[in-house]
Amino acid sequence: MGDAVPGDEIDLCRPNGARVYDYLLGGGHNFAVDREHAKRLLEANPDQQHGAHANRAYLHRVVQWCLDRGIDQFLDLGSGVPTVGNVHEIAHRYSPLVRVAYVDRDPVAVAHSESIVADLDAVTVTRADLRDPDAVLAAPGVAGLLDLDRPVALLAVACLHFVPDDARGFMAAYRRRLAPGSVLAISHGSDDVDDPDHAARMRAVADSFAGTPSPVALRSRAELRELVGDFAIVEPGIVDITDWPVATGSRPAATWAVVAVAR
């Protein structure tokens, strides 16, 4: 489903961020070049695999948080290669009527996603560039599924750090189109952390993606707040991914990502 994205054919010679993430999660939709890059990542930052799993756990928590507040529509930007625990799998435990629109520009991610959701009426897959909100929101798989006059959960989970250009403009365009009561949930790689060694490892990870189809731009907590705009950030604010919603009991090790959830 969805239109082709110019200049984004499958490149088997260079690693792709979505497929590397799939490998770190234990998925099977990746190539040798992605696995080799993931191994180099783990050499630069041994915590990277922990971060990938923590990000997937955050996705579970934020989807459930939205469902508990009556939101039954999800727009998942940069949805990536399908792995266990996708948005629709989480949401449909609550109700098979929950609508989920996946959007990604990677042809491998889109092809595998389409094969997984082919028999699901409440789930669509669109190939589009998340930097073009008008095209995304007008795509049949989005406009034909989601009712933008009702609250929507807009998910930008582990995708915006693969957008090196200024993200403020297109994120503002998405926010303007969302109905009152909607939610914006972001997780993002950052070196804005207290531990200088951890910050250095994150910069090494970002450097490793230079020259690939998925260059990485680390953003500070202040920059993340700008992406949220005038939406109200819910407690506990912009925190490490393991601290959302609120850390209770023994706290897992900190990760490579910070998060913000806002309404």
Span 183-194, average pLDDT: 94
Cβ contact 82:116 at 8 Å: yes
Span 233-244, average pLDDT: 94
Is the model's pLDDT at 10 over the cut of 80? no
Q: What is the DSSP letter of 233?
A: B
Span 239-255, average pLDDT: 79
Is the model's pLDDT at 66 over the cut of 80? yes
Is the model's pLDDT at 238 over the cut of 90? yes
The pLDDT value recorded for residue 172 is: 98
Q: Where are the domains of the chain?
A: 17-262
Is the model's pLDDT at 30 over the cut of 90? no
Span 201-229, average pLDDT: 90
Span 183-209, average pLDDT: 89
Using alpha carbons, list the distances in angstroms from residue 170 to 80, 87, 178, 226, 228.
19, 23, 13, 12, 11
* 257-262 and 99-104 beta bridge pairing: unpaired
Give per-residue pLDDT as tens, 140-172: 999 999 999 999 999 999 999 999 989 999 999
pLDDT band at 3 (very low <50, low <70, confident <90, very high): very low
- Nearest one of 14, 9, 12, 37 to 111, comparing CA atoms: 9
- Homologous superfamily in CATH for domain 17-262: Vaccinia Virus protein VP39 (3.40.50.150)
Integer Cα distance of 244 and 254 in angstroms: 12
pLDDT band at 251 (very low <50, low <70, confident <90, very high): low
pLDDT band at 250 (very low <50, low <70, confident <90, very high): low
